[in-house]
Amino acid sequence: MELLLGIDLGTTGVKLLLINRKGKVISSNSHEYPLSSPKPGWAEQHPDIWWNATIKAIKKITGSLNKNDEIVSVGLSGQMHGLVPLDSSINPIRPSILWCDQRTVEECKIIENKLGKKLIDTVSNPALTGFTAPKILWLKRNEPENYKIMSHFILPKDYIRYKLTGKICTDISDASGTLLLNVKKGVWAEDIIKELGIKKSILPYIAGSEEITGYVTKTASKLTGLKSGTPVVGGGADNTCAAVGTGIVHSGRVSSSIGSSGVVFAHTDNMLVDPETRVHTFNHSVPDNYYLMGVMLSAGLSFKWFRDNLGQKEINIEKQTGKDAYNQLSKSAANIDPGCEGLIFLPYLNGERTPHKDPFARGVFFGLSQRHTREHLVRAVMEGIVYGLMDSIEIIENLGLDIKQIRATGGGGKNKFWRQMQADVFNKPVVTLNNDEGPAYGAALLSGVGVNFYNSIEEAADSTVKIKSIVEPDPDKHDVYSDIHRRYKELYISLKDNFRNIRY
């Protein structure tokens, strides 16, 4: 049986999925690895940690194959934005600086001051600490000897590509998150690169997500058990691979993902840019298509904070009976009417990205009265998270995208009560899918397009990703939520200056 392998290089571990032509998961494996923080706000990993973990995971997969099974292609997905600087011998110069690293505040100011409006006109995004370009400038300003010997830079997943194939390149979706790509044209923004004083020679080749970029070498074959000569395709950033794996490959489809963070991902056939840069515009893995993305920093993290600090009863029950603490809490929240009798929660425990771009924002319970119980608090947290997602959906709709359907993934997709809440707040049908395997699944599908299992990325997704369930919005509840969402937005405006005055 011919099989497709998807590799997703995450921040805390690597996950592999093996699927057949119909999209059925045959096997999976994962390996965790540590994240280093040598200074406050820093986040680093050495690329060889990724490779060693990937070797172990692939060997588990190849070791479990039946006699007639064959892995015919490999697709790659991974964490975005991380800087992997390489010397002329293609060895890492230093640990990779990751997407969540915050050391580049000054470099972002330099970029914004130097480029101004040209930044949005060309790369379609503001300079944020997570992006790759500020990291390159940081290296140039703070580690000049390392910058001097840097011969290439790649993104995290592309280090796995190099170790598998010996080829240096990235794909268009990952390149769009560097702040160095002309998103509309899909090529490196040479004028931006020149103005920032970055060496053009370090830029990798940009491949299509479904393009074969190399073949497994004999050395990599011996280490992993993959057959020498197996094609490795371009793959994509974790967000676009997750979108392919959930069928977000047609305009009008949007995913709402509640994990630790909250992500709203909207496919668009035509390039749309928010002039206020509250949502991101990047290149999709689907050729000549784009996506809009809003990110809230503390979605599931807010619910986890409540569970860890105010949900000890549910935690104890889970230990004794195995009943999930989150499900217990959401069941109690269902006893409360929508709107929580005026109680509103702002989920800004770690600042906020979309729509406020405010690192000083903080969490708030507003409107507490003697009538409110712990059940009200639980529901207010869950509602506040969905209001945060609604902020992104509103922006995307106001840019002219007609949203027809929301595909719920992550924790918010597994919880029926939370799915109904999303449908009611968004006033859109919310569906679940036959699989929720994440970026590795999309990477495997992309690899299948590369070897002509499927004629296109759209065909790959449409033939394997199916709707499992659907919830329709309740118009009366939507009216209640709309009024509260308006007040939710006003609260941030009222409290913005106060957040900046907090001392801790």
DSSP string, 105-123: HHHHHHHHHHHTHHHHHHH
The angle formed by the CA atoms of residues 100, 104 and 108, to the nearest 5 degrees, is 115
Q: What Å distances lie between residue 197 and 78, 119, 191, 193, CA to CA? A: 27, 15, 10, 6
Q: How far is Cα 468 from Cα 10, in angstroms, rounded to an integer?
A: 27
On the 0-12 / 13-18 / 19+ scale of CB atoms within 10 A, 259 is: middle
Catalytic status, residue 238: yes
Cβ atoms of residues 330 and 418 within 8 Å: yes
* The two three-digit tokens of residue 172, written as one number: 């268009």
In the Cβ-directed half-sphere of 305, how many Cα atoms lie within 13 Å? 19
Which residue among the candidates 8, 158, 171, 238 is catalytic per the annotation? 238
The helix (H) or strand (E) run that includes residue 484 is: helix 475-500
Question: How far is Cα 457 from Cα 286, in angstroms, rounded to an integer?
Answer: 6
Chain-centroid distance of CA 147 in Å reads 28
Establish whether the linkage from the previous residue to 355 is cis, with ω within 30° of 0: yes
Interatomic CA distance for residues 408 and 503, integer angstroms: 37
The DSSP symbol for 351 reads B
Q: Does the CA dihedral 11-236-124-388 come out positive or negative? A: negative
* Euclidean distance between the first and the last CA atom of the chain, given in angstroms as a whole number: 59
Helix runs in 451-474, H state only: 457-464
Quick check: 221 and 228 in contact, CB under 8 A?
A: yes
Catalytic positions, please? Answer: 238
